[in-house]
Amino acid sequence: MTRSYEVVYILDSALEEAQITELLETVHKLLKTDGAEDPITDVNHWGKRTLAYPIGSHEVGYYIVTHFDADPALLPEYERALKLNANVVRYLVVLNEGAQPVPEMTAQDENNDGGEGSKPGEGSKPTEVPA
């Protein structure tokens, strides 16, 4: 049973485009199973970005976001290969659960036109109680 995953790689910023492509091909081969189609569904190169904090001697990293479908049994070897590769500064693999559901508005929410910065219970006019 395959599942959908998303991985963010932060690679050494000193790598050239050919080296980045070769590294991705190497680690993505680990996700393929015999006779199956290509598990990689999307690859986005975000490019070089300054890290929020230094990681070792790295202050800049090359970011790549990849979506793939793979059998969960393949992930331990895939992550092991990423950990052992000196050009991978950091990585994070997460289960891709698809689009997040949008909360539905209830009738009470539609009637409460709150306005900017209002707190719950504010926004609607108080009702007058006859004396």
In what helix (H) or strand (E) does residue 24 lie, and over which residues does it extend?
helix 17-29
Residue 110 corresponds to which tokens in the numbers above? Answer: 């539609």
Is position 125 within any domain? no
**Is 91:68 a contact under the CB 8 Å cutoff?**
no
DSSP at 114? -
**Is 89:10 a contact under the CB 8 Å cutoff?**
yes
On the question of pLDDT at 129 being above 90, the answer is no
Overall domain count for the chain: 1
Is position 114 within any domain? no
Is position 116 within any domain? no
Categorize the per-residue pLDDT at 127 as very low, low, confident or very high, splitting at 50, 70 and 90: low
Is position 106 within any domain? no
Which residues span the domain enclosing 69?
3-95
- The pLDDT value given to residue 130: 66
Single out the residue of 65, 63, 24 nearest to residue 47, CA to CA: 63
Single out the residue of 76, 11, 98, 1 nearest to residue 48, CA to CA: 11
Is position 32 within any domain? yes
Is position 48 within any domain? yes
- The pLDDT value given to residue 63: 96
77-126: pLDDT as tens digits: 999 999 999 999 999 999 988 776 777 777 666 666 555 555 555 555 55
23-75: pLDDT as tens digits: 999 999 988 877 778 888 999 999 999 999 999 999 999 999 999 999 899 99
Is position 54 within any domain? yes
Single out the residue of 60, 81, 52 nearest to residue 11, CA to CA: 60
**Looking at residue 19, which CATH number applies to its domain?**
3.30.70.60
Is position 102 within any domain? no
Break the chain down into helix, strand, coil percent, rounded to 5.
25, 35, 40
